[in-house]
Amino acid sequence: METNDSTLEQLRSEFEADPQNLNKAIQLAQLYCDLGWYNEAIDFFRELAEKNPESYLLILEYGNTYYKKKDFKGAIEQFTRLTELRSDRIEGWNNLGIVQLQTGDLEAAKESINKVLDLEPDNAGALINMGNYFHSKGEFDTAITYFERAVESRMDFPDAWFNLGNALLSVNEYERARVAFEKALKYNPEFASAMKNIGYICEKNGELDSAESWYSQAILINKADSALRINLGNVYLHQKKFDDARRCYLKAVRLAPNETGGWMGLRHLSIVKGDLTTFMRATLAILPRLSDQSLAQSIEIFYELNQLSKADDLLMQADRLGRSGNELDLQRLLIYHRKGIHQGKVAQILKNLISLEQKSESVKKGLARFFLESGDFDQAIHYINQVSGLDSAGFGILWRALLAKKETEKASESIQNYIKDNPDSFDCWFMLARIEAEKGNNLRAEKFLVRALENGFTNLEELNTVPELKSIFESLASRDNLVEG
């Protein structure tokens, strides 16, 4: 700070002593910009530009200051002025193209970048910018071609290698992308974004230890990147290092409390751990910023876990915020019907959802659940069979509908097939316990019920609807009390 103060005083003194010295004036304005005094710098540049309208360097730095301030309109005005002043120089066209890319004026950007390439066909910066143009258009193969030309033109250009890696990621060329990011690091060993992307590739390939290492290295360089904390937290979550994952997500929240990423990580972690209180707290923290679909999914999670009061609380928040959409209407249908309220709305929502020509997977599954709970088991099976890639909750709907129709063998076969790949599914063990109890096989029913309880089954309301299971559960509870006594 003392160095900046002394430099500032020196430049001010030199300018006051020789106000016609344009180079000293530009240096003073640049220092204002470096100090973050953008308004002072722009006012000074404006005054200088009025007196020196033909100075190329002055107009260039004037535009750069607008760009650093993120005043893109002002930057475009000055860079356009620069191209009019000297159309045979690349700086104005290049900077104008960069700003036009950032503001989404893609075709104007392409025209500006082509002006640079007309003047210098092998200009690496312009080749990168043209690659960025095609990447923004979703034309990834063409983007890759331009980025490859950029690295051929200048092999030691880390940004060119980095952008090439990003384009290769867009077409799922993970190994080629990794090589490109490694090249970027060769020429810039502290390129945190390149480390981050190598970590992402490792994570996608299931190389979790390597992903953890790359993300951790990137964090040492860029401690303020909340997304890095989220990525590392996701790796820890897959490794079942839940405490480490929680620390990463909390750090992400502290770094960027108004962004959803860290909160979403905490939500995911809490569901994996069965911590519904934290899930609810994290959901409420970002509720206004959740999409209608994500909000509906949050309500669905509580509903499927038989946490009706929490599901109802979230639905009331959705109503208060004026949220709408088919997925949220589906949750209204289920909750209103379960509570026996708003029957008119229930009928209208049901009619609307059934009449949808294109139903989402969640709507199909929700309609199946509604008909299961309404006792229309044929309709429940009809809708659940339309769902592609059933999750555990979807299978649960199918099994219950089949058992209600006395199609026990079909239900049992489906459960046995599912449990082979999901031996910790408490719902599978509960359904098997129910089947054995209804057959009178109490010892097998008790064995399966214990497995269900050990794996997290808590829906005593459903358990109590099966008299045989209720009796077995009460016997288990009695024995536990005797042991405790």
Q: What percent of the chain has pLDDT over 90?
A: 86
Provide the CATH number for the domain around residue 474: 1.25.40
CA distance 248 to 267: 13
- pLDDT (0 to 100) of residue 485: 37
Render 141-187 in DSSP notation, one character per residue: HHHHHHHHHHHHH-TT-HHHHHHHHHHHHHTT-HHHHHHHHHHHHHH
Sequence-distant contacts of 87-96: CB under 8 A, at least 24 apart: 87/115, 88/119, 89/56, 89/119, 90/115, 90/116, 90/119, 90/120, 90/123, 90/126, 91/60, 92/60, 92/63, 93/119, 94/123, 94/125, 94/126, 94/129, 95/60, 95/63, 95/64, 95/67
Residue 357's pLDDT band, with cuts at 50, 70 and 90, is very high
Q: Is pLDDT of 454 > 60?
A: yes
Task: Tell which phi-psi region holds residue 191, choosing left (phi > 0), alpha (psi between -120 and 50) or beta.
Answer: beta
| Interval 243-267: pLDDT, tens | 999 999 999 999 998 899 999 999 9
Q: In whole angstroms, how large is the CA radius of gyration of the chain?
A: 32
Q: What percent of the chain has pLDDT over 70?
A: 98
Instruction: Calculate the alpha carbon distances from 81 to 57, 86, 92, 113, 139 in Å.
Output: 12, 9, 8, 16, 31
Residue 482's pLDDT band, with cuts at 50, 70 and 90, is very low
- pLDDT (0 to 100) of residue 282: 92
Helix/strand/coil for 424: coil
Q: Is pLDDT of 349 > 80?
A: yes
In a domain, 461, yes or no: yes
Residue 272's pLDDT band, with cuts at 50, 70 and 90, is confident
| Interval 144-191: pLDDT, tens | 999 999 999 999 999 999 999 999 999 999 999 999 999 999 999 999
Q: Quote the tokens at residue 178.
A: 């990794």
CA distance 414 to 421: 12
Q: Is the dihedral of CA 82, 86, 89, 93 positive or negative?
A: positive
> What is the chain's mean pLDDT, rounded?
93
| Interval 66-119: pLDDT, tens | 999 999 999 999 999 999 999 999 999 999 999 999 999 999 999 999 999 999
| Interval 193-230: pLDDT, tens | 999 999 999 999 999 999 999 999 999 999 999 999 99
Neighbouring C-alpha atoms within 13 Å toward the C-beta of 186: 11
Q: Is pLDDT of 380 > 60?
A: yes
In a domain, 480, yes or no: yes
Q: Is pLDDT of 1 > 70?
A: no
| 188 within 8 A of 157, measured Cβ to Cβ | no
Name the CA dihedral angle for 127, 132, 133, 138, rounded to a multiple of 10 degrees: 130
Q: How many domains, in total, are found in the chain? A: 1
* Residue-number span of the structural domain to which 469 is assigned: 412-485
Angle (CA) 101 104 106, round 5°: 65
The helix-helix angle for 242-255 and 261-273 (nearest 10°) equals: 160
The lowest-confidence range among 110-114, 333-337, 465-469 is 465-469
Helix/strand/coil for 469: helix
- pLDDT (0 to 100) of residue 481: 55
| Backbone phi, psi, residue 298, to 5° | -65, -45
CA distance 352 to 472: 43
- Return the top range by mean pLDDT from 224-233, 278-287, 467-476: 224-233
| 226 within 8 A of 259, measured Cβ to Cβ | yes
In a domain, 185, yes or no: no
- pLDDT (0 to 100) of residue 102: 93
In a domain, 218, yes or no: no
- pLDDT (0 to 100) of residue 483: 41
CA distance 390 to 290: 25
In a domain, 332, yes or no: no
In a domain, 417, yes or no: yes
In a domain, 194, yes or no: no
| Interval 433-445: pLDDT, tens | 999 999 999 999 9
- pLDDT (0 to 100) of residue 3: 54
